[in-house]
Amino acid sequence: MDAQEGIVVAAGIVSVAALCAVVFLATALRRTRGAVRDLREAVDARNVAPDPDPDGGGGRPAQSPGTHRETVSVVTSLSAPGAGIAAGDDRDEMVVLTRDGRAIVLPSTERVVGAALGRPLVRGATFTHGVAHALRPESRDRVRGLVRREFRHRRKQRLRAGRRAARAARLDTRDPT
């Protein structure tokens, strides 16, 4: 057996080993996928359909064995008596109670609006729109008319006051007492 035949045999052995490895990995992957799918279905089944509490204890679902680490499911209003948290100004805030005793406060719509519109880029965009709105021809004419009217009003008031003062002064000089 010369060197060339040795290389061919070695290549054949390597390719067979690679084929075996691929088959093994494919089988393992299929098994793992099946296990993950089963787990996901089990978790979805637990989260979607919690058992209703027959005692009416705050709407909390009955705890099944082995589920004490999972979060949630009970959504109550902050002002609800069973929430255990003082109600704020926003009445539409909701509280999510986890099974391990944590309370997650969901932001109200007003807060979401405030957070969304309070970002610098959005504020800059709204300000630019506002300036463009104020510089429209109709707004400009309106402001110009307001300024002109205000100036005329003030001038008339001042002239009227001046005439009144002059009249009063003339009456004072005529009055001998």
Partner 1 sequence: MKSRVVWFAVGTTAGIYTSVKARRIAYRLTPTGISDQVGALGVGFRAFGAEVRAGMAERETQIADELGLTAPLPRARVVSELESQESKDND
- Cα separation, 52 vs 44, in Å, equals 16
Q: Pick the binder of partner 1 from 3, 49, 131, 171 (CB under 8 A).
A: 131
Q: Is 154 in the site for partner 1 (CB under 8 A)?
A: yes
Q: Nearer Cβ to partner 1, position 71 or 139?
A: 139
d(CA 75, CA 60): 9
- Taking CA atoms, 74 is separated from 54, 62, 99, in Å, by 15, 11, 9
Task: Report residue 2 as tokens.
Answer: 């010369």
Three-class DSSP labels, 34-70: HHHHHHHHHHHHHHHCCCCCCCCCCCCCCCCCCCCCC
- Does 41 participate in binding partner 1 (rule CB under 8 A)? no
Which of 11, 20, 32, 151 contacts partner 1 by CB under 8 A?
Answer: 151
CB of 77 vs partner 1, minimal distance in Å: 16
169 counts as binding partner 1 under rule CB under 8 A: no
Residue 127 interacts with partner 1 (CB under 8 A): yes or no: yes
For residue 37, state whether it binds partner 1 (rule: CB under 8 A). no
Joined together, the tokens standing for residue 73 give: 């499911």
Furthest-apart CA atoms within the chain: distance in Å:
150
Name which position in 139, 141, 169, 170 contacts partner 1 (CB under 8 A).
Answer: 139
C-alpha–C-alpha distance, residues 4 and 36, integer Å: 48
Tell me the closest approach of the beta carbon of residue 91 to partner 1, in angstroms: 12
Question: Is residue 21 at the binding interface for partner 1, with CB under 8 A as the rule?
Answer: no
Residues in touch with partner 1 (CB under 8 A) = 108-110, 112-113, 116-117, 122, 125-127, 129-134, 139, 142-144, 146-151, 154-155, 158
